[in-house]
Amino acid sequence: MASASISVGQGERAYAVEVGPGLLHEVGGRLRALGKHGRVALITDASVERLWLAPVRASLTAAGIDSQTLVVPPGEASKSLATADSLYTQLIQGGFTRSDTVVALGGGVVGDLAGFVAATYHRGMGLVHLPTTLLAQVDSSIGGKVAVDHALGKNLVGAFYPPRAVLTDTRTLASLPKRERWSGLAEVAKAALIADAELLQWLERDLEALGDGTADEATTARAIERSVSIKAHVVTADEKEQGLRMVLNFGHTLGHALESETGYGPLLHGEAVVMGMRVALGVSRTLGKLSVDDEARARALLARFPAPPPFPKPTREGVLAALRRDKKSHAAKVRFVVLTGLGRSDTEPLDPAALEPAVEEALEALP
């Protein structure tokens, strides 16, 4: 199966996202084709190292590209200034310069962390993403946002730093735990709901196969390509997140509040977003933006996502306070993303108080 190429961004900052099975075996050749790669600092986490490092190393070696592998522990805790600092030390000791390239092999944690290091070491090295989780493939590797977390909040220290290329090997998903896969699939459903009625139809047919990992290669690649295209289109039109890019936050206002109120542990991001999307559907209908039938169809799709394992319920007050703190809110209002149809979306300034009934309903419905 050939790979698909989707272009992101404009002018000098434009790059291609290649999606296809087996691309990890082609990393060396693709880097050569990009030119000016220098040496490679291959950054990954310990789980992905064990599973997927070998083909990347072999391909770099075969292309005559010198590389050094830097491994961080798996998990969100690695997205820190402390880990970045230890990577800087290894880069300095390894003699890396700004003409060299960081290759990020892993999920969103590795992509954000390695991207942040690439953006800041010697004022910017080349960056290539090799995303290995569904979430990283359809979301975090596209759009050029890189960051580390701060003790006072997630993603608070970062930059917009586009990669030179994204090589998405869909076969890496074979080893991804089911729960991580369903979590990433929530972002695919989000993309469909905000922008692509045809992708929504495919999901209605193939959701369980995609979530459980039994879908064939073509079906998987097609869903990923379409999600990538949607995000590529939105971030190309709004590179610095001024307006349009907001629609990518569908389901995320409440999703983020639930993640922070449960202490970023019991809920995976996509699981929180599924709950957030349910609330956003109710709000869209209440505001008269979405028909009852369309709401029902979207809810039926979301009902097929597995419930997360039981976790202590956050309080109504806590969730509402977190909504008010959301960094995306403007003054007293929250810029809330609503659906205006299936595959269509818009933003609506809302007083967080207007979300109270929907939030209560969502908390009631928690497992």
Ligand X SMILES: NC(=O)c1ccc[n+]([C@@H]2O[C@H](COP(=O)([O-])OP(=O)(O)OC[C@H]3O[C@@H](n4cnc5c(N)ncnc54)[C@H](O)[C@@H]3O)[C@@H](O)[C@H]2O)c1
Of 37, 79, 231, 285, the active-site residue reads 231
231 binds ligand X (CB under 6 A): no
Residues 245-284 vs ligand X: string with x where CB under 6 A? ------------------------x---------------
Q: What is the DSSP letter of 196?
A: -
Whole-number Å distance between alpha carbons of 137 and 302: 21
Written as one letter, the residue type at 250 is: F
Q: How far is CA 76 from CA 11, 83, 269, in A?
A: 33, 11, 12
Whole-number Å distance between alpha carbons of 278 and 258: 13
Contact partners, residue 26, CB within 8 Å, separation at least 6: 59, 167
Minimum distance from residue 345 beta carbon to ligand X (Å): 18
140 binds ligand X (CB under 6 A): yes
- Pull the structure tokens for residue 9: 């961004």
Question: How many residues sit in the footprint of ligand X (CB under 6 A)?
Answer: 29
Toward ligand X, which CB reaches closer, 224 or 342? 224
Of 79, 129, 171, 256, the active-site residue reads 256
Minimum distance from residue 134 beta carbon to ligand X (Å): 8
Minimum distance from residue 70 beta carbon to ligand X (Å): 15
Residues 57-96 vs ligand X: string with x where CB under 6 A? -----------------xxx--x-----------------
Toward ligand X, which CB reaches closer, 86 or 340? 86
Which residue is it, tokens 């956003």? 280
Contact partners, residue 363, CB within 8 Å, separation at least 6: 313, 314, 316, 319
Toward ligand X, which CB reaches closer, 112 or 225? 112
- Pull the structure tokens for residue 354: 């207007």
Minimum distance from residue 286 beta carbon to ligand X (Å): 28
Element (H, E) at 156: strand 153-160
Q: Which residues on neighbouring strands pair with residue 159, listed in sequence order?
A: 146
Of 49, 129, 226, 249, the active-site residue reads 249
Under rule CB under 6 A, which residues in 166-195 are in contact with ligand X? 172, 175-176, 180
123 carries an active-site annotation: yes
Toward ligand X, which CB reaches closer, 15 or 295? 15
Phi and psi, residue 71, nearest 5°: -110, 135
313 carries an active-site annotation: no
Toward ligand X, which CB reaches closer, 67 or 249? 249
Whole-number Å distance between alpha carbons of 131 and 167: 7
- Pull the structure tokens for residue 233: 């289109």
Q: What is the DSSP letter of 243?
A: S
Residues 98-137 vs ligand X: string with x where CB under 6 A? --------xxxxx-x-------------------xx-xx-
330 carries an active-site annotation: no
Toward ligand X, which CB reaches closer, 245 or 278? 245
Of 30, 145, 222, 285, the active-site residue reads 145
Do the Cβ atoms of 17 and 166 come closer than 8 Å?
A: yes
Written as one letter, the residue type at 170 is: T
Do the Cβ atoms of 223 and 203 come closer than 8 Å?
A: yes
Minimum distance from residue 205 beta carbon to ligand X (Å): 25
Contact partners, residue 160, CB within 8 Å, separation at least 6: 144, 145, 146, 239, 240
245 carries an active-site annotation: yes
Closest C-alpha to 137, from 171, 162, 161 = 171
289 carries an active-site annotation: no
Whole-number Å distance between alpha carbons of 293 and 286: 13
187 carries an active-site annotation: yes
241 carries an active-site annotation: yes
Under rule CB under 6 A, which residues in 325-344 are in contact with ligand X? none
155 carries an active-site annotation: no
Toward ligand X, which CB reaches closer, 48 or 258? 48
Q: Which residues on neighbouring strands pair with residue 40, listed in sequence order?
A: 67, 101
Minimum distance from residue 294 beta carbon to ligand X (Å): 26
Provide the annotated active-site residues: 123, 145, 187, 231, 241, 245, 249, 252, 256, 269
Query: Residue numbers of the site for ligand X (CB under 6 A)?
Result: 45, 47-48, 51, 74-76, 79, 106-110, 112, 132-133, 135-136, 139-140, 143, 145, 154-155, 172, 175-176, 180, 269
